[in-house]
Amino acid sequence: MFYWDSTYVLVLIAFALSMFASFGVKTTFAKYRNVSNMRGMTGRDAARQILDRNGLQYIRIEHVAGELTDHFDPRDHVIRLSDATYSSDSVAAVGVAAHEAGHAVQHAMGYKPIKLRNAIIPVVNIGSSLSMPLFFIGLLLGSLGLAYAGVILFSSVLAFQLITLPVEFNASNRALEVLDSTGMLAPDEVKKAGKVLRAAAMTYVAAVASTALQLLRLLLILNNRRDD
């Protein structure tokens, strides 16, 4: 039998925020993936130029299947660009590739937020896997202490996401600055690439909001259980 309580409203809001942000980045990317830049530069070209300008010739650039699966892997020293980015000359592709190159530069220069984020990954991995089981086991056993331990672990996920925000915004700012200052993209093309990166950044903002709402729900459930 389906059980409903008022805190499910927070779940629905979190879901709506995530869907809205996901829709925004997909539609914005789709709009500008068909707008070629005047220089005919591909995503791979842009990433390679930015890496080389920062003395990061050792970082490889590889093609990876999928769409918007672009990422920088600091362990293997490689930027992986998706189907829609690697060989595309769209302003969207160049913006995304430059963003990933921005992450590589962050790692190379020891950007503090990214070092902090990497440092707490082990705790976050534990928190993401054990928080909800601890929370619900605590509720079932009537152990509020165990349930609160789950909440604390879940809070580490929110902390990780909050630290991720400046990392992502900084990578985008670096990307747009270098695309503009070097003339890799024309000024109006930089603006279009910026719209793509801002839409992508909103997915991280939505993730923070969604996790915060979930955390609030857990706290409300515990508060109601304590008052019973």
| Three-state SS at 22 | helix
And the tokens for 36?
């070629």
What DSSP line would sit under 97-156, residue for residue?
A: HHHHHHHHHHHHHT-HHHHHHHHTHHHHHHHHHHHHHHHHHHHHHT-HHHHHHHHHHHHH
| 161/212 Cα distance (integer angstroms) | 10
Q: Which of 100, 168, 177, 189 is catalytic?
A: 100
Helix, strand and coil percent figures for the chain, each rounded to 5: 70, 5, 25
| 109/55 Cα distance (integer angstroms) | 11
Active site residue 189: no
CB environment 16-53: b (16+ within 10 A), e (fewer): ebeeebeebbeebbeebbeeebeeebbbbbbbbbbbee
Pair 29, 196: CB distance under 8 Å: yes
Residues classed as catalytic: 100
